[in-house]
Amino acid sequence: SALKIRIKFAKEGTMKFIGHLDIMRYFQKVMRRADVDIRYSEGFSPHQIMSFAAPLGVGLESRGEYVDIEVLSTDSSKEMLRRINENMVEGMEALSYRALPDDAGNAMSLVAAADYEVRFREGYEPEDLDAFFAGIPEFLKKEEILFLKKTKKGEKEINIRPQIYQMEARPDHKIFLQIATGSAANLKPDAVLRAYAESRGETLGEFALMVTRLEVYADKGNEEKHDFVTLESFGEDIE
């Protein structure tokens, strides 16, 4: 019988410009080359059983991407990581390879939140960088933070405050964000920073921000009391 595997991977450097479809195709190739005993779908044109959690936008780096696969047999996590990484291009790295319990939910449907690190591209910083960072706690006190979201029907104003779980200044002029991600609510780091800049009467240039996703979470709690756990924590290393 098939075993569910969750692979955590990083996508950095020039690989951040590669779109999701190409990442999928690339992974399929890697699975073949690394001799992963992956399960194929039945039927007329079999394809590898593979599902990605909350694919990243183009231009974002990540140390917290996830893909779920099913395998018919497997070596240890350590050995599988070695084989997969031997076939990865620069900028892509498998970070963990873990067996999931049979009843584990699909990675895609689990995603509730993600951590991001945001920094400014050189030459695009706000004029008073220290004041910009110092103003964050005040911004978070607002009950309503309105953002103009583009929808298929045009634009609508939404209150993004409930979707910002954490936002703080970190050393070396970085901003840490933990925000709603996934199918239920999907807030982009870019939107948060733009809303913040606007609240200060500033506008960020189109390419001002460099964003790295650090981790992706499921929520074991509820709306009143969130209990975020990493997607990785659902699996166990194979010895």
pLDDT at 68: 95
Q: How far apart are CA 47 and CA 200, in angstroms?
A: 50
Instruction: Report the candidate in 72, 55, 84 with the shortest Cα–Cα distance to residue 1.
Output: 72
Q: How far apart are CA 13 and CA 60, in angstroms?
A: 9
* Vertex 196 angle, CA 225 and 166, to 5°: 25
pLDDT at 165: 97
Q: How far apart are CA 90 and CA 14, in angstroms?
A: 8
**pLDDT tens, 166-200?**
999 999 999 999 999 987 788 999 999 999 999 99
What DSSP letter does each residue of the chain carry, written as one string? --EEEEEEEEE-GGGGGS-HHHHHHHHHHHHHHTT--B-B--SSS--B-EEEESPPPTT-EEEEEEEEEEESS---HHHHHHHHHHTPPTTEEEEEEEEPPTTPPPHHHHEEEEEEEEEEPTT-S-SSHHHHHHTHHHHHT-S--EEEEEETTEEEEEE-GGGEEEEEEETTTEEEEEEE-SSS----HHHHHHHHHHHTT----TT-EEEEEEEEEEESS-SSS--EEEGGGGSEE--
Q: Report whether 26 contacts 154 (CB < 8 A).
A: no
Query: pTM for the full model?
Result: 0.92
pLDDT at 152: 83
Per-residue confidence at 56, pLDDT binned at 50, 70, 90? confident
pLDDT at 161: 96
What tokens appear for 187 in the block? 């807030």
**pLDDT tens, 108-122?**
788 999 999 999 999
* Vertex 99 angle, CA 82 and 185, to 5°: 105
State how beta strands 61-71 and 92-99 pair. unpaired
